[in-house]
Structure 1
């Protein structure tokens, strides 16, 4: 009985081992067939997967998503040196030497690591004016403004700031998402097998690259505005009337403006008269002489001829 029992157990174990081997072979075959089916699908299946990956990437770049390196939600970095801020300033300074002070302002900005973006000057003594657009590093903005104020008598100063930290973070997330979409389109284009797929994928890739270039241009523009602040400096002479002064009201202000307008009008009238006088002398005098001669001639023609007086009849004698 013990020998038969032992043989039966051996046969049962062998059968179980054979069944397990067959089951493992079937699983591996089904896995191979699945991988072959996936490879047989080609770019169409990859396109579907790429679309899903694009949707996931777009979801990551949504406004509510958290961009990499921005910290946990609800705990933003509030340090000023970690924020993107655009500084802009406007100054009006009255000086005694407009050209000299303009050169001095350019030297200050150059020494601070900036440059001149625009330069417009009027050197007339009565209306000497200089308008400079200065670009200076954001870290030196306040110091440069204080130095420029010492050029003369400051009459107006306006400083504005704009925090664009959220816009910068949003642009970074959108650029990262768009780069992933461009890479996905390039991979699909490399595995395209038909002309239709090539044309479609090339068109899609061109659109994605154009969108990426637009986002990168916005990021460069924003980085330029945050790295270099803008100061609009206006230098005027001592006797120049500014727009702020022209808005004043009162009798004396009106009298002063009226006298100034009268002088300007007389100057303009004399200038026109001086320009026209040579022509009047050259053509007006001969024309006047000709007109006088014509009038005399007409008068002579219109006068009636002088006739002789009638003869006086002789007196009759009485019969």
Structure 2
């Protein structure tokens, strides 16, 4: 019995140590798991914050890039507008002053005075800075009534970049040809390089001229302004006897004017028809004369008529006996 108790104590001690070891191991695992989870969660949070910052930055960056792209675009703006004013000449002068005050210029100007039923008018072509196009069009409302407004914007960024690239390539080629001319060993090589240099230099100047013209169109908008006179207000004719007399006189004049126009249109036809009738009448007379002359035979034309001539019927016959006795 004494020997069994120490063995039981040893077994209990071993079991208790095993249990303590297991508990410490599980606690260590839980601690490591919790630390790993905390680290991963913190990493996830930091990643989320970074992603949110990236998203926020990506949301702003395209706008900035789009604004930069919009600023780099090259736009050619042209427009046409009609302005109605009482005095087209004075209105045209105001339009020219508006263009010059905006930093632009007048390229062409034409004015016509009132002639008969045709009202006075004026036409101008002005160039204003592109940034002042809208302000200039709005200022035209101070000159007169704005009608028939049309503004067109054309993106020429691709054309401009193509011209720039071609001009840059030709400039590089020209520099290389100049270097080759300096290193030419023979006269033939020098002449060939000089001829090629002249050709490419001409192409380069042409491209530069086109680019300069395109730049001018981009920087300065073109506006075609037409100024017309206000249509006169129609006045009613007075009433009563005088009004009726005036209306009748106007109607008579209008009718006579219409008759004169119709007569003028028909006169050439009447002349031609008269000539044709005269010719037909003359031809008919000739035909009738020829028919009358050819109806009587020539042999009978010299014979005496029926009054006792030799050709009279019964002239050679002897009278009857009864007829003579009666006589």
Distance 1:78 1:162 in 2: 19
The residue that corresponds to 2:73 in the other structure is: 83
**CA-to-aligned-CA distance 1:165-192 (integer Å, 9 cap, x gap):** 2222222222111100000011101111
Aligned equivalent of 1:121, options 107, 111, 115: 111
Cα 1:163–1:203, aligned 2, differ >3 Å: closer, same or farther?
A: same
Shift of 1:94: 1.4
Q: Which is bigger in relative contact order (C-alpha 8 A, separation at least 6)?
A: 1
Q: Pick from 76, 84, 92 the counterpart of residue 102 of structure 1.
A: 92
TM-score relative to the length of structure 1: 0.51
Structure 1: gaps (5+ residues): 1-74, 241-261, 274-319
Q: Residues 83 and 187 of structure 1: is their aligned pair in 2 closer, same or farther, counting only changes over 3 Å?
A: same
Equivalent pairs counted in the alignment come to 216
> What are the superposed Cα offsets for residues 40-87 of structure 1, whole Å, 9 maximum, x if unpaired?
xxxxxxxxxxxxxxxxxxxxxxxxxxxxxxxxxxx7765433321111
CA contact (8 A) 1:126 1:239 kept: no
The match for 1:4 is none
Distance 1:216 1:170, change over 3 A: same
| 1:173 paired residue number | 165
Q: Does 1:164 align with 2:156?
A: yes
1:217-242: CA deviations, max 9, x gaps? Answer: 110000000011000000111229xx
**1:114 to 1:126, Cα distance in 2 relative to 1, 3 A:** farther
Which structure's CA Rg is the greater one? Answer: 2
Residue pair 1:138, 1:227 contacting (<8 A) in 2 also: yes
Query: The residue matched to 1:166 in structure 2 has which SS?
Result: helix
Q: Secondary structure at the match of 1:113?
A: coil
Q: CA RMSD in A?
A: 4.6
Contact 2:83 2:146 in 1 (8 A): yes
- Matched residue, 2:82: 92
Structure 1 125/98 Cα, relative in aligned 2: closer, same or farther at 3 Å?
farther
Which of 134, 144, 159 is 1:152 aligned to? 144
With normalisation by structure 2, the TM-score equals 0.50
What corresponds to 1:196 in structure 2?
Answer: 188
Which whole-Å deviations, capped at 9, do the CAs of 1:179-219 have from their partners, x for residues lacking one? 00000011101111212112211111011101101110110
Contact 1:127–1:237 (8 Å) recurs in 2: no
CA 80–125 in structure 1, closer or farther in 2 if over 3 Å, else same: farther
What's the counterpart of residue 49 of structure 2? none
Equivalent residue, structure 2, for 1:205 = 197
Instruction: Tell me, yes or no, if structure 1 residue 133 matches structure 2 residue 156.
Output: no
**Alpha-carbon displacement from aligned partner over 1:102-146 (angstroms, at most 9, x marks no partner):** 111111111111110111111146434111001001110000011
Partner in structure 1 of residue 303 of structure 2: none
The 1-side partners of 2:67 and 2:164 are apart by: 16
